């Protein structure tokens, strides 16, 4: 029947088996090749990475950064420009001659700082497929020292003023750039996740401000910036970490533009920023806070989006909400206002987690990416896992760092959740700006081979052939197919036997069917995805491979964006 054919055509590929090897696999009739790798020059005259010595200071802000993550492609005139995040660095591989990769001076710190942040690069398709356009005027590296502006309710607040910036509006750098977003007006949103990890102090017995604990800001860091760059020493600059943890807007069409930190969207460990226009034209941004027992957020602008109109205040003036899920499949968005929280607007935007705790938001199993269906009024969030969900310790219920309990609930139903689930919500009145929603679980990941029944077998759309754990990246293609990327346990043993390396699957929102499309190399996570302007190529991020990927045996493992095409050059999204 036509219906059956339709259902079959939702998956225009033959699903693949798990893999445990050192490379990428895609279905029959598809092929992949690297687009760009960590340390690869974006400009001519710049040296590629030297496996023995890493990237030089001179080259470090002119090469593709490490650990590719969220990305978006922008068609600008007849140019194709990709903006892509570099989440973090491995000290040992970037400073291979230093003990444990720890910096020995400011130059070492700068190398690490330059290799993170964002790359903006032009790409073009030739006879050998897509490649980076060297020296394109669009090419740009944004890193931990790039000048930016603070904007929105926290800009100019006492909470964000420093000795170097007495006005609290001019800051430097964007940190731990994880997931992404794209606005209808053609800008890139980069999301600051584990920003806490860059700020510390060597001052003995320094008393940390009370608000640091909720965000995990501690004296010791894995990067060691604070030893040589006093901006990162919280004993000297206690407000500096309050200038990180935001969604940052970047104009990819102008390499000289100043990135803007949009404080109205809140400060937390931002995963991504999924943007949709509400029925009346207001801008809605859904955002996850990736930490055990933290929350799912939504921002709604005051003004409406008018194509070609002034968009400069749309991400500054609006209301931030946090999700509360009932056990009956309904939910509501709780506004974070001066009335509901007893906090001032700048405090809400800087201490957003504390504000959300005050209104009684639902503690979640680590909200990662949100994806919005372009062909139905619904959205999805990957709740990756939560080892601490409900687990009793000393007879006590586990809590998040703010003391909010993490008991099991219908939306986070498993104690010690090691597999993760994807929640889907349907806004009331088919309007993403509505204050209420209905929800269900699109999938509960699990292992039906190890757990014959019960919640750990997974939901009914999980089977031996498509199982996975720890959903994380999620993107819809233009046809309404949901792409799911994983960042989980890839031991292929114990509770994870039969799940192989991290992977990318496709899900059909209408039927719940899920099929495996791609497997990553050992040790990697698959994260970040976008499409060429003609939708005949998909770009997929491979982060932190352990295996010698993509150059094979004996080569340095390099985080890489791969380009995937069909051999018949048909559409792939
Ligand atoms: Fe950077 Fe929550 O992933
Ligand atoms: Ca992620
Ligand atoms: Ca993750
Ligand atoms: Ca990651």
Q: pLDDT of 177-209, one tens digit each?
A: 999 999 999 999 999 999 999 999 999 899 999
- Which of 390, 389, 369 shows the shortest CA–CA distance to 380? 369
The Cα–Cα gap between 515 and 511 comes to 12
- Write down all domains in the chain, each with its CATH number in brackets: 2-193+245-566 (2.120.10.30)
Do 275 and 184 form a contact (C-beta atoms < 8 A)?
A: yes
pLDDT digits (tens, 9 = 90+) for 277-299: 999 999 999 999 999 999 999 99
DSSP per position, 156-217: T-GGG--SS-TTS-EEE---SEEEEEE-TTS-EEEEE-SGGGG-B---TTPPPPTTHHHHT-
Position in ligand 1 atom list of the atom nearest CA 269:
2
pLDDT digits (tens, 9 = 90+) for 73-114: 999 999 999 999 999 999 999 999 999 999 999 999 999 999
Do 67 and 38 form a contact (C-beta atoms < 8 A)?
A: yes
Length of the chain: 573
Rounded to an integer, the average pLDDT of 245-266 is 99
Q: Is 226 in the pocket of ligand 1 (CB under 6 A)?
A: no
Asked whether the predicted pLDDT for residue 318 surpasses 80, the reply is yes
pLDDT at 2: 44
The Cα–Cα gap between 167 and 148 comes to 13
Q: Is 271 in the pocket of ligand 1 (CB under 6 A)?
A: yes
Residue 1 — very low, low, confident or very high, per pLDDT cuts 50/70/90?
A: very low
Q: Which two tokens stand for residue 171?
A: 């800051």
pLDDT digits (tens, 9 = 90+) for 558-568: 999 999 999 99
φ and ψ at 254, to 5 degrees? -140, 105
Give Cβ neighbours of residue 535 (< 8 Å, ≥ 6 apart).
477, 478, 571, 572, 573
CA–centroid distance, 290 to ligand 3, in Å, is 8
The Cα–Cα gap between 336 and 342 comes to 9
Q: Is 291 in the pocket of ligand 1 (CB under 6 A)?
A: no
Give the β-pairing of 471-476 and 129-132: unpaired
Start-to-end C-alpha separation, the chain: 24
Q: What is the gyration radius of the CA atoms in the chain, in angstroms?
A: 22
Count of Cβ atoms closer than 10 Å to residue 570 Cβ: 11
CA–centroid distance, 503 to ligand 4, in Å, is 13
Position in ligand 1 atom list of the atom nearest CA 87:
1
| Average pLDDT value for the chain | 97
DSSP per position, 253-320: T-TTPPPEEEGGG--S-B---EEEE-TTSEEEEEEEB-SBT--EEEEEEEEE--TTS--TTTTTSEEE
| Exposed/middle/buried for residue 532 (C-beta within 10 Å: 0-12, 13-18, 19+) | buried
ipTM above 0.85, yes or no: yes
Give Cβ neighbours of residue 445 (< 8 Å, ≥ 6 apart).
419, 420, 421, 458, 462, 467, 468, 469, 470, 471
Position in ligand 1 atom list of the atom nearest CA 290:
2
Residue 393 — very low, low, confident or very high, per pLDDT cuts 50/70/90?
A: confident
The Cα–Cα gap between 93 and 74 comes to 32
Q: Is 525 in the pocket of ligand 1 (CB under 6 A)?
A: no
The Cα–Cα gap between 337 and 301 comes to 14
Residue 8 — very low, low, confident or very high, per pLDDT cuts 50/70/90?
A: low
Give the β-pairing of 260-262 and 247-250: antiparallel
Do 319 and 338 form a contact (C-beta atoms < 8 A)?
A: no
- Which of 244, 94, 271 shows the shortest CA–CA distance to 172? 244
CA–centroid distance, 176 to ligand 4, in Å, is 9
Q: Is 192 in the pocket of ligand 1 (CB under 6 A)?
A: no
Asked whether the predicted pLDDT for residue 5 surpasses 80, the reply is no
Position in ligand 1 atom list of the atom nearest CA 368:
2
DSSP per position, 140-164: EEE-TT-EEEEESTTTT-GGG--SS
Q: Is 290 in the pocket of ligand 1 (CB under 6 A)?
A: yes
Give the DSSP H/E element, type plus range, for residue 9. helix 2-9
Q: How many CA atoms lie within 13 A of 71 on its CB side?
A: 32
Q: Is 356 in the pocket of ligand 1 (CB under 6 A)?
A: no
The Cα–Cα gap between 115 and 56 comes to 11
């Amino acid at each position: 029947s036509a219906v059956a054919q339709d259902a079959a055509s939702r998956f225009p590929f033959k699903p693949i088996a798990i893999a445990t090897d050192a490379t990428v696999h895609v279905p029959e009739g598809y092929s992949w090749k690297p687009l760009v790798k960590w340390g690869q020059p974006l400009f001519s005259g710049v040296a590629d990475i030297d496996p023995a010595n890493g990237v030089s200071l001179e080259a470090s802000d002119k090469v593709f950064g490490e650990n590719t993550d969220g990305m978006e492609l922008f068609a600008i005139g007849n140019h194709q420009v990709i903006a892509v995040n570099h989440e973090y660095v491995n000290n040992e591989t970037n400073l291979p001659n230093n003990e444990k990769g720890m910096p020995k001076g400011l130059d070492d710190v700068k190398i690490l700082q330059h290799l993170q942040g964002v790359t903006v690069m032009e790409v073009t398709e030739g006879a050998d497929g897509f490649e980076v356009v060297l020296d394109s005027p669009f090419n740009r590296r944004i890193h931990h020292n790039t000048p930016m502006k603070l904007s929105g309710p926290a800009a100019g607040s006492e909470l964000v003023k420093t000795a170097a910036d007495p006005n609290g509006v001019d800051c430097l750098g964007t940190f731990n750039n994880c997931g992404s977003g794209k606005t209808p007006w053609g800008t890139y949103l980069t999301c600051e996740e584990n920003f806490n990890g860059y700020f510390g102090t060597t001052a003995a017995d320094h008393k940390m401000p009370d608000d640091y604990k909720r965000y995990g800001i501690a004296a010791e860091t894995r990067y060691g910036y604070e030893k040589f760059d006093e901006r990162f020493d919280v004993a000297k600059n206690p407000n500096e970490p309050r200038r990180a943890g935001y969604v940052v807007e970047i104009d990819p069409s102008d390499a000289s533009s100043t990135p803007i930190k949009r404080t109205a969207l809140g400060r937390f460990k931002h995963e991504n920023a999924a943007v949709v226009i509400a029925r009346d034209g207001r801008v809605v941004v859904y955002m996850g806070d990736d930490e055990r027992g933290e929350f799912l957020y939504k921002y709604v602008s005051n003004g409406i989006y008018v194509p070609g109109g002034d968009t400069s205040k749309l991400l500054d003036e609006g209301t931030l909400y946090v999700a509360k899920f009932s056990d009956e499949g309904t939910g509501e968005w709780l506004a974070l206002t001066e009335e509901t929280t007893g906090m001032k607007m700048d405090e809400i935007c800087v201490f957003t987690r504390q504000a959300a705790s005050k209104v009684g938001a639902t503690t979640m199993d680590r909200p990662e990416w949100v994806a919005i269906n372009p062909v139905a009024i619904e959205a999805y969030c990957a709740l990756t896992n939560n080892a601490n969900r409900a687990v009793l310790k000393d007879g006590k219920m586990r809590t998040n760092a703010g003391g909010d309990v993490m008991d099991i609930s219908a939306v986070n139903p498993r104690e010690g959740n090691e597999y993760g689930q994807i929640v889907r919500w349907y806004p009331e009145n088919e309007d993403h700006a509505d204050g209420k929603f209905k929800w269900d679980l699109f999938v509960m990941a699990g292992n039906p081979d190890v757990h014959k029944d019960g919640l750990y077998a997974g939901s009914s759309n999980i089977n031996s052939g498509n199982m996975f754990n720890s959903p994380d990246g999620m993107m819809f293609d233009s046809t309404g197919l949901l792409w799911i990327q994983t960042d989980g346990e890839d031991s292929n043993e114990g509770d994870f036997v039969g799940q192989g390396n991290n992977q990318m699957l496709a899900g059909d929102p209408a039927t719940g069917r899920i099929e495996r499309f791609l497997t990553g190399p050992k040790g990697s996570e698959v994260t970040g995805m976008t499409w060429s302007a003609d939708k005949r190529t998909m770009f997929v991020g491979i982060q932190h491979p352990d295996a010698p990927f993509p150059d094979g045996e004996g080569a340095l493992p390099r985080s890489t964006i791969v380009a995937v095409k069909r051999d018949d050059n048909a559409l792939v999204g």
